[in-house]
Amino acid sequence: TVQAFGEIPGLWRNGLANLYSFWKLDGFRNIHRVMVHNFNTFGPIYREKIGYYDSVNIIKPEDAAILFKAEGHYPKRLTVEAWTSYRDYRNRKYGVLLKNGEDWRSNRVILNREVISPKVLGNFVPLLDEVGQDFVARVHKKIERSGQGKWTTDLSQELFKYALESVGSVLYGERLGLMLDYINPEAQHFIDCISLMFKTTSPMLYIPPAMLRRVGAKIWRDHVEAWDGIFNQADRCIQNIYRTMRQDTNTHGKYPGVLASLLVLDKLSIEDIKASVTELMAGGVDTTSITLLWTLYELARHPDLQEELRAEVAVARQSTQGDMLQMLKMIPLVKGALKETLRLHPVAVSLQRYITEDIVIQNYHIPCGTLVQLGLYAMGRDPDVFPRPEKYLPSRWLRTENQYFRSLGFGFGPRQCLGRRIAETEMQLFLIHMLENFRVDKQRQVEVHSTFELILLPEKPILLTLKPL
């Protein structure tokens, strides 16, 4: 017989007391490790209430399958109130990230066609390939200037620029110029604002932003300043395209970018387009760059694997004569490496949905309307789900029959990551170019853990050494 909702193990009876012990454990920065600890204590399902948000947490792929079957027509995840509060405060429209219901769906369907459908890949690849080549040229130059035949550095700032240049080139169909020696200080400010925006969001998952705003808390003021910087920069880019579009009508058949395509299509209001394009631009920086940093870190720790990937890329290059679109179909191990990175170092600590029907998970009844979270970080490290989870093994993704509800780094279904195709393509091209040009190396074998700043980040700088082949 099925057990009642109230029987689910966990700490959910006193939200405020739990918030206090969460804070004492430094849970704000360790939410991922707290979740692993809770699954170890309570088993594969537990209920939790921290501050004002109450959820059921699950970890098994089979249970994820049940969850996503109950997500309904308009899948809804946990609302990040800091983000909606800012939009309400400044009177700015929600984009697809923050919309819900029919409004979300109608916008998402149109955006899907321009951003994530397979037909746009052919447009994106040449743009992203060029950015990848420029990144390589930039690294060669840095190595030359070092006078040591190698370059040792914390690559994160470089990767932020690579990621912004990539997403910018796809959105606007033109280059922002971030691979040059002297970059626009506004672009650098945009990058800094995104990091600050994420960092200031996480405490507000537990302390209502409306309250922080009333007392004029610094964290709220910083958050507003960060989003203001993001919106101002995105507005400048959008205005720029808008102006040039009105000036020259003939674009010589060249792909004009996502923004111009949406404007020409004329199916969304300009305000809706602006809101979603801003979200795409902001969502496209820290996510892919951190995933690439973790991947380089893993490849530096596994030199033999690095050679295997290099060999795969070389064969793909040879047999396709540099036809990039074809080449991307011939690098399963490189793709496996990216999945393996997201397994051990996911960007999102969890996936969540409000379920739209009653379900039964682990023999407990869960009523319609409950917030259910899949612990993505915890699942990636669960030995029942991934044998020898501590091992970085891209080859475990080569057998598709083992992938059932296990490859969820970008989320699932119609509400999955809208930037997924951009992110995947941009990261694959990056690895192709880097593997073809440099060997990645690393000083000491120290483990780097994750820290939670809304997204999961390396807790300390990762120093890597790049040497020309």
Contact set with ligand 2DC (CB under 6 A): 77-78, 80, 97, 205, 279, 282-283, 287, 347-350, 352, 417, 454-455
415 touches ligand HEM (CB under 6 A): yes
CA distance linking residue 371 with residue 368, whole number of Å? 9
Closest CB to ligand HEM among residues 212, 280? 280
Of 34, 50, 96, 164, the one binding ligand HEM by CB under 6 A = 96
Q: By three-state DSSP, how is residue 152 classified?
A: strand
Nearer to ligand HEM, 300 or 351 (CB): 351
Task: Identify the H or E element spanning 154.
Answer: strand 151-154
Binding site partner of 80, from ligand HEM, ligand 2DC, none, Cβ cut-off 5-8 A by kind: ligand 2DC
Residue range at the interface with ligand HEM (CB under 6 A); choices 132-140, 298-306, 345-353, 461-469? 345-353
Give Cβ neighbours of residue 305 (< 8 Å, ≥ 6 apart).
298, 299, 337, 392, 394
For tokens 């910087």, the residue is 229
Q: How far is the CB of 83 from ligand 2DC (least distance, A)?
A: 7
Closest separation in Å from C-beta 310 to ligand 2DC: 30
Instruction: Give the nearer residue to ligand 2DC in terms of CB position, either 415 or 442.
Output: 415
CB of 282 to ligand 2DC, least distance (A): 4
In this structure, the strands spanning 463-468 and 438-441 are antiparallel
- Residue 133 or 416: the one with the smaller Cβ distance to ligand HEM is 416
Residue 131 interacts with, from ligand 2DC, ligand HEM, none (CB under 5-8 Å by kind)? none
User: How many residues belong to the site for ligand HEM (CB under 6 A)?
Assistant: 27
| Tokens, residue 406 | 């296990």
CA atoms within 13 A on the CB side of 433: 22
Q: SS3 for 353?
A: strand
Three-state secondary structure call for residue 371: strand
Residue 355 amino acid letter: I
Per CB under 6 A, contacts with ligand HEM among 212-271 are none
Q: Does 350 bind ligand HEM (CB under 6 A)?
A: no
CA angle 110, 243, 238 (to 5 degrees): 50
Contact pick of 273, 422, 431, 440 for ligand HEM (by CB under 6 A): 422
Contact between residue 347 and residue 380 where contact means Cβ atoms under 8 Å apart: no
Instruction: Report the DSSP beta bridge partners of residue 372.
Output: 56, 353
Residue 316 near residue 331, CB atoms below 8 Å: yes
**Helix (H, G, I), strand (E, B), or coil: what is residue 4?**
coil
- Least distance from ligand HEM to the Cβ atom of residue 399, Å: 22
Q: Order of strands across the sheet with 53-58?
A: 10-11, 45-50, 53-58, 371-375, 350-354
Number of Cβ atoms within 10 Å of the Cβ of 363: 10
Is residue 120 within the footprint of ligand HEM (CB under 6 A)?
no
What tokens appear for 226 in the block?
């960060």
Interface mask toward ligand HEM for 351-390; x: CB under 6 A: x---------------------------------------
Q: How far is the CB of 53 from ligand 2DC (least distance, A)?
A: 8
CB 352 within 8 A of CB 372: yes
CB of 167 to ligand HEM, least distance (A): 5
Task: Examine residue 283 and tell whether it contacts ligand HEM (CB under 6 A).
Answer: yes
CA separation for the pair 251, 255 (Å, rounded): 8
Q: How far are the Cα atoms of 192, 225, 228, 229, 447 from residue 189, in angstroms, in the given order?
A: 5, 11, 11, 7, 31
Is 428 a binding residue for ligand HEM by CB under 6 A? The answer is: no
Window 391 to 410, contacts with ligand HEM (CB under 6 A): 409-410
The CA-to-CA distance between both ends of the chain, in Å, stands at: 63
Residues 412/395, Cβ–Cβ less than 8 Å: no
Measure the CA–CA gap between 143 and 444, rounded to whole angstroms: 21
173 vs 283, which CB is nearer to ligand HEM?
Answer: 283
Q: Exposed (0-12), middle (13-18) or buried (19+): which is 12, by Cβ within 10 Å?
A: middle
340, interface contact from ligand 2DC, ligand HEM, none, CB < 5-8 Å by kind: none
For residue 205, the partner it binds in ligand HEM, ligand 2DC, none, with Cβ less than 5 to 8 A by kind, is ligand 2DC
Least CB distance from residue 153 to ligand HEM, whole Å?
Answer: 21
| 205 lines the binding site for ligand HEM (CB under 6 A) | no
Would you count residue 457 as binding ligand HEM (CB under 6 A)?
no
Residue 337 as a binder of ligand HEM (CB under 6 A): the answer is no
Residue 348 within binding range of ligand HEM, rule CB under 6 A: yes
The identity of residue 293, as a single letter, is L
For ligand 2DC, the closer CB: 5 or 28: 28
The one-letter code for the residue type at 459 is E
**Closest approach of ligand HEM to the CB of residue 444, in Å:** 27
Shortest Å distance, C-beta 121 to ligand 2DC: 20
Chain residues that interact with ligand HEM, rule: CB under 6 A: 77, 96-97, 108, 167, 279-280, 283-284, 287-288, 291, 342, 347-348, 351, 409-412, 415-419, 422-423
